[in-house]
A and B are shown apart, each in its own frame.
Chain A
Amino acid sequence: MGRNFGRPVRRLEDGRFIQGNGRFVDDVILPRQTYAAFVRSPYAHARITGLDAAPALQMPGVVRVMTAADLAGAPDMPCGWMIHSRDGAEMKVGSRPLLASDTVRYVGEPVAVVVAESRDQARDAAEAVAVDYDELPVVVDCGDAMAPGMPQLHPAISDNLAYDWELGDEAAVDAALAVAAHRVELTLRNNRLIPNAMEPRACNADWDAQDEKLTVWMTHQNPFGMRTLYSAYYGLAAEHSLRIVSPDVGGGFGAKAPNYPEEVVVAFAAKLVRRPVKWTADRTEAFLTDAHGRDHLTTATLGLDAEGRFLALKVDTIANMGGYLSTTGSLIPTYMYGTMLSGQYVIPAIHCRTRAVYTNTCPVDAYRGAGRPEAAYVVERIVNVAARAIGVDQAEIRRRNFIRDFPYQTPVLFEYDSGDYEGSLNQALALSDYAGFPARKAEAAARGKLRGIGVAAYVEACGIGPSAILAKLGGGAGMWDSAEVRVNPVGTVEVLSGAHSHGQGHATTLAQLVADRFGVPIESIRIVQGDTDRIQAGTGTYGSRASVGMSATFNACEKIIAKGRRICAHLLQVPEDSVRFADGVFASAATNKTIPFGEMAAAAHAANAFPTREIEPGLVESSFFDPPNFTYPSGVYVAEVEIDPLTGVTEVAAFSAADDFGIIANPMIVEGQIHGGLTQGIGQALWEECRYDPDTAQLITASYLDYGMPRADGLPEFRLAFGCAPSPSNPLGMKGCGEAGAIGSPPAVINAICDALAIDHLDMPARPEKVWRLLHPKAAG
């Protein structure tokens, strides 16, 4: 721990947010601004038989109406991760145009866009675009999609099956299951979620015809990725003439990482109308079209020996892709999911089969955890079913099966880097007073309440890399990150970071790192992110990968210090290898003179005290860090619930989380990440559920009146503890903490509910009526 690094330093970026000076995309109004409104399909599956924009063109303030015909040269939207089926065939990608031209496949799919002088005028005119549809039958449930006779979404893709993928040794699993002393089976659903970052998607595109330069302000997690796509794939402008600016981003959670049609269409529109075009989604559009999360139907079988040790796990999952494959939609239920099915346990044989299917629903992509929550939910649920079946305590069965030696090669591709799973379990049991639970249960029973306790242990993979391995798995982009550290003549520091904060506090944590490394005040450091014209390169932030960008920053700092030592050797007239740097001061045993960091910076720029043929003037260094392996954060969570048997209402009475994120940059910020992740996971377990009407595929949870968002009053005060098994995969020993809370909490809560009700399973969310019906099976209806 340094003066800053490792401490709960208050956030440097807060000043602008708490005074209303944050800069979000919708805050930007450009000269000659126009506004876009999309015409969207009201049907989930239909043929477009006619489209008449003429009435809209007569409306006040309308500048332009664009349809698929105006985008005739533009390619279909790409899926960025190639998955191969078990038979070796490439996944089948349904054609997804930017604007639908002949068929629509989910409610809200964009069909046309109106550009007008004001937001209201654009919206008025969008209603006047006349589109004729011939409705087609729909399929909603992933469990139905492959059944005979179901509506087929894409031509030449039979049974709506995008791919049939597998991982692991099926024969070994079957053999182990055949001789296992105990076998338990579980069928479960992982409920579809709607991400709901509080800032809706927004963009503002500006075409400078003179310079042939396109600037797109876009609320996004990966501005450089979008620049590459917009330039190389869509051909909107040459890469060096395309600027993506993602200023303050109001939450992402994965849903601001994909490539969406609306932003691309707005960029084309700006070129067409030669005026800036702005689009800000309203919340209804966010519900309808932001990539949804989860939506799996899974059957799992776990085999155990007579002592309760795990022998084999077999998992068969159907994953709902929605109407099209989103940018990384194919990756989530495969390499982000099957690879995590070993959990924290020694399971000698594991097999995962995933069939990804198209349905008439919004495309599904990454949402906080992205595959890893689905895996943890399967493992942690079936472990509790097994514990119940063989009469072993849920903490004890985990203890009996923990991985204890690292690195650990799982049967499903990944090699875990480090961990202390039993340490986290012990922490969590102490934090939750696990031993005192029977007394609390009895006390609750005296009040007429059913109390239950649930343990869940998760491990996840963060800091995705290295690029070469990922390419072998189907990845289409490098997964390094980049930083440039600029030390100015008076010793202030700018860090140009290719990571991108959307609430994670990089402006503080990166500054903590650099301040301590250089021994300078944290106030003298500024972190720059989110502007492809200012930053050299980057891959953005998702999958809890800030450790990658932070490692690049660290390495760039090391280069600065190395150069500083060379410069100071000349200034001090001592051998270079005698120069040491500590606490902001260069010193040498060969002299009493010392040089503070700032003076070295001044000398580097003055360039008059060292030979500039040997040492270049200036003090700017960059680093690209390609991690040698993922990092593997882990933790053990204990949820305690209390159920009112009269109403079925579940209250989370207590929640304890013991996490291991390796080295932590700022415990205050990490705790905040856990609070948020736990809340999203509790939301999934208790309230959140994206529901489509099964007959029409209309989204029936399309507002906060119908989609159960967590609010302040339904949550306990979280108790947190941290262990520390540093990751060897990066120079800082960090692991990543952004998604953990959302991964471990759903199984912890459901395990607690099942404990309270003394049942094997109930599907999320545990809505009051569902729980009430379990308790009163004879009730009418």
Chain B
Amino acid sequence: MTVALRVNGEDVRIDVTDRTLLIHALRDHLRLTGAHMGCDTSQCGACTVLVDGVAVKSCAMLAGQADGCEVVTIEGLARDGALHPMQAAFAEHHGLQCGFCTPGMIMLGIDLVRRRGAADEATVRSELAGNLCRCTGYQNIVKAIAAGARDMAGAA
């Protein structure tokens, strides 16, 4: 089947099998490898992208289900070489170690700000229910998202 998407501001059409997951369409067909596949049960959140503005797990969505949608991946956040505030916050607060879960964490952080604004750390912790990290113990991810949320609110 042919799927039409607007990915990171660009219109694309890709030919995929019906059973192709959105994550594989992004990674294998569009070579956007920032979103990662970390589990089989849609628990880990490493595959999180924005579809029509909201965070979804791209491993729990068929490419066909996203037909006609706007998709933003981690690769689409920086503008003209300037980092998105949530990206910058992860670097500033050491919110990553191996970097595998990081794209999903950043995309979830952006979705969190959309819904909850400048959330406190306790809120961030509960909002991370669907994102696993094995390296950081979450402490600096929580700080990064809270700081990124403040920066996004300040920039708005």
Could you tell me which A residues sit within 8 Å of B by CB distance? 10-11, 13-24, 26-27, 29, 119-120, 196-200, 248-251, 253, 280, 282-284, 502-505, 668-669, 671-680, 703-705, 709-713, 715, 717-718, 741
Whether A198 and B98, one on each chain, are in contact in the complex, defined by CB atoms closer than 8 angstroms, is yes
Query: Do A676 and B137 contact each other (CB < 8 Å), given the known contacts A19-B34, A713-B125?
Result: yes
A364 to B78, CA, bound (A): 43
Nearest A residue to B97 via CB reads A503
4 nearest CB pairs, A to B:
A20-B34, A17-B99, A250-B100, A503-B98
Say how far A496's CB is from chain B's closest CB, in angstroms.
Answer: 21
Residues on B with beta carbons closer than 8 Å to the beta carbon of A199: 36, 38, 98, 100
Query: Do A672 and B136 contact each other (CB < 8 Å), given the known contacts A14-B91, A503-B98?
Result: yes
Whether A712 and B75, one on each chain, are in contact in the complex, defined by CB atoms closer than 8 angstroms, is no
Whether A503 and B38, one on each chain, are in contact in the complex, defined by CB atoms closer than 8 angstroms, is no
Residues on A with beta carbons closer than 8 Å to the beta carbon of B31: 29
A26 to B37, CA, bound (A): 9
Interface status of B25 (Cβ within 8 A of chain A): no
Interface status of B39 (Cβ within 8 A of chain A): yes
Say how far A662's CB is from chain B's closest CB, in angstroms.
Answer: 21
Interface status of B77 (Cβ within 8 A of chain A): yes
Residues on A with beta carbons closer than 8 Å to the beta carbon of B74: 18-20
Give the contacts of B1-60 with A (CB-CB under 8 A). Answer: 17, 19, 24, 27-28, 31-41, 43-44, 46
A-B contacts, 29 listed (Cβ < 8 Å):
A10-B92, A14-B91, A17-B99, A18-B74, A18-B106, A20-B32, A20-B73, A22-B34, A197-B134, A250-B36, A250-B100, A251-B97, A284-B40, A503-B135, A671-B94, A672-B94, A672-B135, A672-B136, A672-B137, A674-B137, A679-B136, A679-B137, A703-B40, A703-B43, A704-B132, A705-B43, A710-B137, A712-B125, A712-B129
Residues on A with beta carbons closer than 8 Å to the beta carbon of B136: 672, 675-676, 679
Whether A27 and B39, one on each chain, are in contact in the complex, defined by CB atoms closer than 8 angstroms, is no
Residues on B with beta carbons closer than 8 Å to the beta carbon of A678: 137
Residues on A with beta carbons closer than 8 Å to the beta carbon of B78: 19
Q: How many A-B residue pairs have CB under 8 A?
A: 186
Say how far B38's CB is from chain A's closest CB, in angstroms.
Answer: 5
Whether B37 and A712, one on each chain, are in contact in the complex, defined by CB atoms closer than 8 angstroms, is no
Whether B37 and A22, one on each chain, are in contact in the complex, defined by CB atoms closer than 8 angstroms, is no
Q: A668-B94, A713-B125 are in contact. List 8 more A-B contacts (CB 8 A).
A: A18-B103, A251-B135, A282-B37, A503-B97, A672-B136, A672-B137, A674-B137, A680-B137
Whether A283 and B38, one on each chain, are in contact in the complex, defined by CB atoms closer than 8 angstroms, is yes
Interface status of B96 (Cβ within 8 A of chain A): yes
Residues on A with beta carbons closer than 8 Å to the beta carbon of B36: 24, 26, 198-199, 250
Whether A250 and B98, one on each chain, are in contact in the complex, defined by CB atoms closer than 8 angstroms, is yes
For B94, give its contact among A11, A248, A715 (CB under 8 Å). Answer: A11
For A251, give its contact among B91, B98, B140, B141 (CB under 8 Å). Answer: B98
A678 to B134, CA, bound (A): 11
Residues on A with beta carbons closer than 8 Å to the beta carbon of B44: 198, 283, 704
Whether A676 and B134, one on each chain, are in contact in the complex, defined by CB atoms closer than 8 angstroms, is yes
Q: Quick one: which of B33, B78, B106 has the most chain A CB within 10 A?
A: B33
A27 to B35, CA, bound (A): 10
Interface status of B62 (Cβ within 8 A of chain A): no
For B142, give its contact among A14, A504, A671, A712 (CB under 8 Å). Answer: A712
Say how far A549's CB is from chain B's closest CB, in angstroms.
Answer: 17
Interface status of B153 (Cβ within 8 A of chain A): no
Residues on A with beta carbons closer than 8 Å to the beta carbon of B101: 198
Residues on B with beta carbons closer than 8 Å to the beta carbon of A15: 91
Whether B134 and A198, one on each chain, are in contact in the complex, defined by CB atoms closer than 8 angstroms, is yes
Q: Quick one: which of B83, B99, B133 has the most chain A CB within 10 A?
A: B99
Residues on B with beta carbons closer than 8 Å to the beta carbon of A249: 98
Whether A675 and B41, one on each chain, are in contact in the complex, defined by CB atoms closer than 8 angstroms, is no
Nearest A residue to B130 via CB reads A711
Say how far B135's CB is from chain A's closest CB, in angstroms.
Answer: 5
A243 to B93, CA, bound (A): 36
A717 to B27, CA, bound (A): 35
A23 to B27, CA, bound (A): 12
Query: Do A713 and B133 contact each other (CB < 8 Å), given the known contacts A198-B44, A199-B100?
Result: no
A365 to B133, CA, bound (A): 22
For B126, give its contact among A14, A669, A713 (CB under 8 Å). Answer: A713
A669 to B77, CA, bound (A): 26
Whether A713 and B129, one on each chain, are in contact in the complex, defined by CB atoms closer than 8 angstroms, is yes
For A705, give its contact among B41, B46, B126, B139 (CB under 8 Å). Answer: B41
A508 to B62, CA, bound (A): 39
Give the contacts of B87-125 with A (CB-CB under 8 A). Answer: 87-88, 90-92, 94, 96-103, 106, 121, 124-125
A413 to B70, CA, bound (A): 63
Residues on B with beta carbons closer than 8 Å to the beta carbon of A22: 34, 99-100, 102
Whether A10 and B41, one on each chain, are in contact in the complex, defined by CB atoms closer than 8 angstroms, is no
A310 to B124, CA, bound (A): 46
Say how far B80's CB is from chain A's closest CB, in angstroms.
Answer: 13
A736 to B142, CA, bound (A): 25
Nearest B residue to A368 via CB reads B134
A674 to B40, CA, bound (A): 29
Say how far B152's CB is from chain A's closest CB, in angstroms.
Answer: 15
A741 to B24, CA, bound (A): 36
Query: Do A250 and B137 contact each other (CB < 8 Å), given the known contacts A283-B41, A669-B94, A704-B39?
Result: no
A455 to B128, CA, bound (A): 30
Nearest B residue to A718 via CB reads B139
Say how far B60's CB is from chain A's closest CB, in angstroms.
Answer: 13
Say how far A776's CB is from chain B's closest CB, in angstroms.
Answer: 29
A715 to B102, CA, bound (A): 19
Whether B140 and A672, one on each chain, are in contact in the complex, defined by CB atoms closer than 8 angstroms, is yes
Residues on A with beta carbons closer than 8 Å to the beta carbon of B132: 198, 704, 709, 711
